[in-house]
Structure 1
Amino acid sequence: MRHSPLNSDTDEAGAFDGPSKTQRKREMEALQEVGKELTELSRDQLAKVPVSDRLREAVREMSRITKNEAKRRHLQFIGRLMRDEDVPPIQAALEALKGNSREENARLHRLEDLRARFIEDETVLTEIGHAHPGADLTRLRQLRRNAIKEQAENRPPRSFREIFRMLRELDGGSREPEPSGEEAEDE
């Protein structure tokens, strides 16, 4: 049986040499999903993601669209723009913004360990001072005393959490605080 020379997806043996239409569709839907995640970011968060100016503008435009069908079509347009982007760095930035990246998790664990060491031993304050010269050491010392007092009196750990927030800001990874149920009850 002879194959048509117009069919460029197959070789002489009839074997398929490219991705199937279904596979291409899955890849395009995945790009569109990444684009949808971009549209859910704030302006500040979007500025931290490495995307082209054209894609950034298309993502910003999405917030001005109100009709459902127009939103669907615009998401498809964003998906098409995503084809020209380097997607792995975008996905890594999105994961970091969501706090799901390994690096972000390791950083948060390191900060939690530093906080625990600081609560146990005030001399860790000099380590924090050397690592972060602009740190408000007096405020940290006060928060440490308050955290120890809160633990002893079995009160909500407001100062304990505030120490973590300060350490996170000093470390340069200040994200919007995500109030847990406990924090909401405390206030």
Structure 2
Amino acid sequence: MRLIDPDADLEFDPDSVYDGPSKSQKKREVEALQDLGNELVKLPDAQFKRIELPEELREAVAACRKITQNSALRRQRQYIGKLMRGIDPAPIQAQLDAFKGVSATENAKLHQAEKWRDRLIADNEALTIFLDSYPETDATRLRQLIRNARDEAARNKPPKAFREIFRVIREAMQAG
């Protein structure tokens, strides 16, 4: 039995005891890497081909994309997480964020085009505003499409002109 010397200086210094991140912190980091790997697995083919990955990781992700059985899929995802621990995830995350940013920007543009289309069909003044914003647009064609879209809506016909207005607006927004 060891006795503690009551005269000994027993000051606690937390800086000298720190052994690195806690077990919970390590688990969170590993799970974050696995989540990043899952994002790679879920990427569309076109984006997956463009992303820069180490060859071994690319092969593991490609294999995971082909697996359908749940337990095998789980094991493969864990393996991807293990591979991710050996590389710097920041460039991969940056590429994924860039893909998401492009998608978000495209979605915003599509929503704006939809709003323009709805305004153009609902309000005659909107055409003037749109043509001021996008002067290279063929005004005659757009007026014709708006008339046709209103007529289609009144007669419950398929929205052919409605869709065509959207295409014209989208082209004008891309050009301007």
What range describes the TM-score normalised by the shorter chain of this pair? 0.5 to 0.7
What is the TM-score when the length of structure 2 is the normalising length?
Answer: 0.59
* Greater per-residue helix proportion: 2
1:11 maps to which residue?
Answer: 15
The answer to whether the 8 Å contact 1:32/1:79 transfers is yes
1:52 maps to which residue?
Answer: 53
What value does the CA root-mean-square deviation take over the aligned residues?
A: 4.0
1:39 maps to which residue?
Answer: 41
- Aligned CA distance change for structure 1 residues 105 and 71 (closer, same or farther; 3 Å): same
Amino acid paired to 2:94: P
Q: Find the aligned partners of 1:67 and 1:109 in 2 and give their Cα distance.
A: 38
2:94 maps to which residue?
Answer: 89
Greater relative contact order (Cα 8 A, min sep 6): structure 1 or 2?
2
The answer to whether the 8 Å contact 1:140/1:163 transfers is yes
User: Deviation at 1:39?
Assistant: 1.5
User: Deviation at 1:36?
Assistant: 1.6
Three-state SS of the structure 1 residue aligned to 2:66 is coil
Amino acid paired to 1:75: R
User: Deviation at 1:43?
Assistant: 0.9
Question: How many residues are aligned here?
Answer: 156
2:75 maps to which residue?
Answer: 73
The answer to whether the 8 Å contact 1:52/1:85 transfers is no
Q: Find the aligned partners of 1:23 and 1:144 in 2 and give their Cα distance.
A: 59
User: Deviation at 1:22?
Assistant: 1.2
Q: Find the aligned partners of 2:62 and 2:139 in 1 and give their Cα distance.
A: 40
The answer to whether the 8 Å contact 1:11/1:17 transfers is no
- Aligned CA distance change for structure 1 residues 53 and 88 (closer, same or farther; 3 Å): closer
1:130 maps to which residue?
Answer: 136
Q: Find the aligned partners of 1:68 and 1:85 in 2 and give their Cα distance.
A: 25
1:177 maps to which residue?
Answer: none
Q: Find the aligned partners of 1:20 and 1:112 in 2 and give their Cα distance.
A: 50
- Aligned CA distance change for structure 1 residues 69 and 109 (closer, same or farther; 3 Å): closer
Q: Find the aligned partners of 1:37 and 1:129 in 2 and give their Cα distance.
A: 42
Larger radius of gyration: 2
Amino acid paired to 1:72: R
